[in-house]
Every structure is written in structure tokens, then in C-alpha cells.
């Protein structure tokens, strides 16, 4: 197959979709990328992400001038790409429990990473994928969008995130593709203290980020997110803050009520987390993240005409910092296969090497999925297990992040297949318990109920 014969549709302009287009563009493959939102970074919800083991792969995917921007978009541009130890501290005392090693990594804000990944990529916005049809000839696919547009192509790549529509087509039904909710109340905030002394104080000990684990089984996270006017203007620094605890999510709570829950917990913390959270301004927008997962499993790729990358293929809880690293790994594997198909095995253009082993699209996509599905399944399982353990003080020391750090899992061959699918409401390792919440999570739930009752009484008597 020649590159001019291929047209790839990419659904979703998140980081994975945009990186996929970077790789396709580099390989000279025609692509069209569609995003349901009206613009990039349209939502105010922001978070920061650590890229570590996948950084060398990212370097191969994007053009050199795009990779060169990575240092500048780092949350801590003073450090840029660097090696170090990620501090996990005890919330109540601020003392270091352990430093998780990473080599040549960096932490980036999602909005800036997305903007860099979009360099030179023309995205078609306001395009919600609604339907897919496969030509009976065995070649080609037609995507339908909510505005009625029909787009034919050689293949479609679903990079449409955790609740992927493409995954529903791949799995054959919405039920088979449905995510399982991870029972956690996870909040994300961006804050600027507007006060140089406060900003300097909260990052004195841990200049980029830290994860504080509380004896009360919740986590408090802080990272510098950006320095809009540079390192010499701490009054303008922005921070990404997160706090999360296991339990049911009360969807009726507004920003103010969520902030009250956060400060109630932060009151018992030591420095630096105590001040970092107690100083959150009253008008802080406390966003709730829907944390969910889907254990990757094989699908019918329709002779290579449909596949998944990124969170669409393996949505997972974020507490071992693996999601984006696997997204990058997916793009690297898939684009390598497509490039090989177009080049012939020898690396020469296929047309020029009559004896070159000619890979078909079906072979390339099947080979990609054979590597990705078990890897994704294993990592999702591990991240679910890690998520439960990190939010249960009695178990943190046994958690994967304590024992394995940020290293990717490497036993995915048999492990994932043998384990089978995790059932909804199942605890880690697929063991179904009567109540999947830990003792601590149940305490948290009772405290939330008490707080809600107290708030209602206060409102009634006002
Ligand atoms: C709080 C938090 C912290 C994290 N920290 C880390 C970390 O430290 N390290 C790490 O590696 N990972 C981390 N992650 C995970 C990482 O953020 C994700 O793995 C990654 O951003 C997924 O990108 P994506 O492009 O695959 O999906 P998304 O960002 O979800 O993008 C999907 C896109 O598809 C669009 N879309 C959806 N449906 C359709 C449709 N039908 N038609 C058209 N468009 C559609 C959406 O609008 C969206 O723009 C973290 C995640 C969270 C929530």
C-alpha cells in the first residue's frame, strides 16, 4: 500500500489524537481529525501530568521543533526535563515517606501539552462522531457526525477518551464498552494565591510537586502548574491542587460545598499541605474528576479498519501516573507499524522493493493490538489496585507505586488474560466483596453525611 492511498480519520483532539496526527504527518499519511468540542482547551478543568518512561518515544513521534518545546512547557520550567525523586509525604507531618525515582521526566499542565501537540495540526471542531459504517467490499469506513456530515476513509482511530464512542462500535455494544466507576471523590483545582510569600512558602520544601497521604486515608496533591510571569514573580504562579478520598460522589455539591469538605480535611494536615489547602480562596472552582476504568480487551478491528489509542483503549485511575505514558506508547507502536507497511520491511519505499515483505493494514493493526491490549489491561488492573491501596492508610506501603514506582508493568502476556474482566464493584484483582469500600472510606462517608446534615441545619436555622 502506498501512503497516497491511505486516509486516516482520528476521532478526538485530546493529547493522544493530536500526537497520532503528528506521527501520521511525519509518515506522510493523509489524516483528518475531528473533535466534538468547539475549540481546544474549552473547559476550565486543568490538571498536571508526569511524563517519564515514554519521553524517548514522544521524541520519536513528534518533529524535533515540537519536542524542543517540552522544557519550556514544564510546570517547573526552571528544571525542565530532569531526573529526580517524586516525594510522597505523610500528610499530618509533612515528612518524606518515600521518593519515587524517575529519569529524564517532566510534569506538564494538560492545556499546554495539548497546545504543543496541536502544533501544525488542523483540527475540525464541533464534530461529534455518531455513527460508523464499514464498506461491504472489506475496504474503507464511513464516519457520520452529528451535523450530518459523512466522511469516508481507509481506517478510523478512536482517540476519543475514556467514554469512547468508537469503543462501542469496536466492542459491538455500549454495554461491552462501558466504563466502571472508580468509587472516589476526586477534586482538581487551579489556584493563584496572588501573594508571593504564600507561593514561596508552599513550594519551599518540594519545588515541583508532592503527594501527601493522610492517616485518614485521603490524598492531598500539589504541583506548580505554571509561572506566567516567570520564576521571579511568585505572586502570579499557578498551582494544581487535588484532594481525593474513596466513597460515593455527591453530585449535588457545588464548588463551595466541595471546598468546605476539602478544608475540613486539610485542617488536620501538617505543612506544607495545611497552608496550601487552607489558603484556597473562597471562590476556588473545585472541579470533580470522574475517575473510571475499562479493562482493555480484544475487539473485531474489521480487517484493520478500526482501532483505539489512549484513554479510549485503557482508561484508568491516575494515581500511578501511567495513563498518558501509555497513550504515547500506543501512538509510537501504531505509527511504527503503519510506517513499516508503507516502507516495506527494508525501509525503502514499498514500490521500490518488489521483494519487500508487504504488510497489510489488517496485519499492522492486529500486531499493534496484540501488544497494546494486554499491556493496557495489565496497567488498568494495576492502577485500580494502586488507587484502592493509596487511599487506605493501612495498605499504602504495599501499593504498586511504593513497590514498583513509575515503571510500566512488564508481565502482561498471561497475567491480564488469565485474570478475566473485573466485575463492576469488584475490589482489586477481581475479588468481589460485599462492600468494595475500605473501613476508612466508610468513615469518610459517615463524616460527609454528618457534614451535610450540619449544613442543612445551619441553612434551616438561618
Ligand atoms: C487528575 C489526573 C492526573 C493525571 N496524571 C497523570 C500523570 O501524572 N501521568 C500520566 O501519564 N497520566 C496522567 N493522567 C492521565 C492522562 O491525563 C490521560 O491518560 C490522557 O490525558 C488521555 O488523553 P486522551 O487524548 O487519550 O483522552 P482525552 O483527553 O479524554 O481526549 C479525548 C478527546 O476526544 C473528544 N471526543 C470524545 N468523544 C468524541 C466523539 N464522539 N466525537 C468527537 N470527539 C470526541 C473529547 O472531547 C476529547 O477532546 C492523569 C489524569 C487525571 C484525570
> Ligand 1 centroid vs 14 CA: distance in angstroms?
6
The answer for 190, left when phi > 0, alpha when psi is -120 to 50, beta otherwise, is beta
Q: Quick check: helix, strand or coil at residue 161?
A: coil
Express each pLDDT in 193-242 by its tens digit: 999 999 999 999 999 999 999 999 999 999 999 999 999 999 999 999 99
Burial group, residue 41, by CB count within 10 angstroms (0-12, 13-18, 19+): middle
Tell me which H or E stretch contains 261: helix 255-266
Q: Which of 382, 262, 273 is nearest to 318 (CA)?
A: 382
**Structural domains of the chain, ranges and CATH numbers in brackets:** 3-40+118-177+294-430 (3.50.50.60), 43-108+183-290 (3.30.9.30)
- At residue 343, the pLDDT reads 86
Which residues form ligand 1's pocket by a CB distance below 6 Å? Answer: 11-17, 34-37, 47, 49-50, 127-129, 159-161, 165, 188, 242, 289, 310-311, 318, 321-325, 327
Mutate to test the pocket of ligand 1, among 54, 160, 310 (most ligand atoms within 8 A of CB): 160
Look at residues 373, 333, 368 and name the one whose alpha carbon lies nearest to residue 19.
Answer: 333
My answer on whether omega of the bond before 272 falls inside 30° of 0, hence cis, is yes
β-pairing verdict for 141-145 and 287-289: unpaired
Q: Determine the atom of ligand 1 nearest the C-alpha atom of 15.
A: 25
Cell of residue 5, nine digits? 492511498
Task: Please count the CA atoms within 13 angstroms of the CA of 240 that sit on its side-chain side.
Answer: 24
Q: Give the C-alpha separation, 140 to 145, whole Å.
A: 17
Q: Which atom of ligand 1 is found nearest the CA of 326?
A: 11
> Phi and psi for 158 in degrees, rounded to 5?
-85, 110
Cell 501512503 sits on residue? 3
Centre of ligand 1 to C-alpha 353, Å, is 40
Residues of the chain with pLDDT below 70 are 42-44, 345-357, 412-462
Find the 63 Cα to ligand 1 centroid distance in Å.
22
With CA atoms as reference, report the closest residue to 77 among 52, 53, 106, 104.
106
- Residue identifier of the C-alpha nearest atom 21 of ligand 1: 324
Q: What is the pLDDT of residues 325-370, one digit of tens each?
A: 999 999 999 999 999 999 875 445 554 444 446 899 999 999 999 9
Q: How far is the CA of 305 from the centre of ligand 1 (A)?
A: 23
Q: Of all protein residues, whose CA lies closest to atom 1 belonging to ligand 1?
A: 47
How far does residue 311's CA lie from ligand 1's centre (Å)?
6
Residue with the smallest CA separation from ligand 1 atom 39 is 160
Cell 457545588, located at residue: 254
Instruction: Using alpha carbons, select from 219, 220, 225 the residue that is nearest to residue 192.
Output: 225
Distance CA 316, CA 179 (A): 10
- β-bridge partners, 432: 426
Please tell me the predicted confidence (pLDDT) of residue 124: 98
Cell numbers 498518558: residue: 324
**What ligand 1 atom has the least distance to the C-alpha of 127?**
43
- Give the atom of ligand 1 at the shortest distance from the alpha carbon of 130: 41
Cβ 266 vs Cβ 252: under 8 Å: no
Amino acid at each position: 500500500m502506498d501512503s497516497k492511498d491511505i486516509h486516516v480519520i482520528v476521532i478526538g483532539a485530546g493529547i493522544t489524537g493530536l500526537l497520532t496526527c503528528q506521527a501520521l504527518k511525519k509518515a506522510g499519511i493523509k489524516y483528518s481529525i475531528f473533535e466534538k468540542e468547539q475549540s481546544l482547551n474549552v473547559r476550565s478543568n486543568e490538571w498536571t501530568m508526569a511524563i517519564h518512561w515514554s519521553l524517548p518515544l514522544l521524541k520519536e513521534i513528534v518533529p524535533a521543533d515540537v519536542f524542543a518545546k517540552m522544557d519550556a512547557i514544564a510546570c517547573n520550567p526552571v528544571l525542565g526535563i530532569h531526573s529526580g525523586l517524586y516525594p510522597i509525604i505523610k500528610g499530618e507531618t509533612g515528612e518524606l515517606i518515600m521518593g519515587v525515582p524517575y529519569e529524564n521526566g517532566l510534569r506538564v499542565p494538560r492545556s499546554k501539552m495539548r497546545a504543543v501537540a496541536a502544533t501544525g495540526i488542523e483540527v475540525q471542531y464541533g464534530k461529534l462522531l455518531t455513527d460508523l459504517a464499514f464498506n461491504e467490499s472489506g475496504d474503507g469506513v464511513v464516519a457520520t457526525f452529528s451535523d450530518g456530515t459523512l466522511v469516508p476513509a481507509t481506517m478510523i482511530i478512536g482517540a476519543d477518551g475514556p467514554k469512547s464512542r468508537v469503543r462501542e462500535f469496536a466492542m459491538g455494544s455500549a454495554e461491552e464498552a462501558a466504563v466502571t466507576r472508580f468509587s472516589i471523590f476526586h477534586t482538581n483545582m487551579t489556584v493563584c494565591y496572588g501573594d508571593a510569600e504564600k507561593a514561596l512558602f508552599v513550594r519551599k520544601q518540594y519545588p515541583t510537586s508532592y503527594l501527601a497521604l493522610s492517616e485518614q486515608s485521603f490524598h492531598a496533591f500539589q504541583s506548580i502548574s505554571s509561572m506566567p510571569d516567570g520564576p521571579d514573580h511568585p505572586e502570579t504562579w499557578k498551582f494544581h491542587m487535588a484532594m481525593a478520598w474513596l466513597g460515593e460522589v455527591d453530585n449535588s455539591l457545588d464548588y463551595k460545598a466541595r471546598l468546605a469538605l476539602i478544608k475540613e480535611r486539610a485542617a488536620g494536615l501538617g505543612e506544607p499541605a495545611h497552608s496550601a489547602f487552607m489558603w484556597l480562596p473562597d471562590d476556588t472552582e473545585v472541579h470533580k474528576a470522574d475517575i473510571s476504568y475499562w479493562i482493555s480487551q480484544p475487539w473485531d478491528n474489521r480487517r484493520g479498519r478500526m482501532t483505539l489509542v489512549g484513554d479510549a483503549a485503557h482508561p484508568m485511575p491516575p494515581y500511578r501516573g501511567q495513563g498518558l505514558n501509555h497513550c504515547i506508547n500506543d501512538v509510537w507502536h501504531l505509527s511504527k507499524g503503519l510506517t513499516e507497511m508503507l516502507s516495506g520491511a527494508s525501509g525503502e519505499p514499498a514500490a521500490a522493493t518488489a521483494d519487500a515483505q508487504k504488510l497489510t493494514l489488517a496485519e499492522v493493526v492486529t500486531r499493534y493490538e496484540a501488544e497494546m491490549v494486554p499491556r493496557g489491561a495489565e496497567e488498568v488492573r494495576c492502577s485500580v489496585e494502586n488507587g484502592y491501596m493509596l487511599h487506605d492508610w493501612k495498605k499504602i506501603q504495599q501499593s504498586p507505586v511504593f513497590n514498583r514506582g513509575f515503571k510500566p508493568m512488564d508481565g502482561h502476556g498471561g497475567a491480564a488474560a488469565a485474570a478475566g474482566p473485573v466485575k463492576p464493584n469488584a475490589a482489586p484483582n477481581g475479588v468481589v466483596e460485599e462492600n468494595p469500600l475500605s473501613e476508612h472510606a466508610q468513615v469518610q462517608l459517615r463524616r460527609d453525611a454528618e457534614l451535610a446534615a450540619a449544613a442543612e441545619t445551619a441553612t434551616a436555622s438561618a
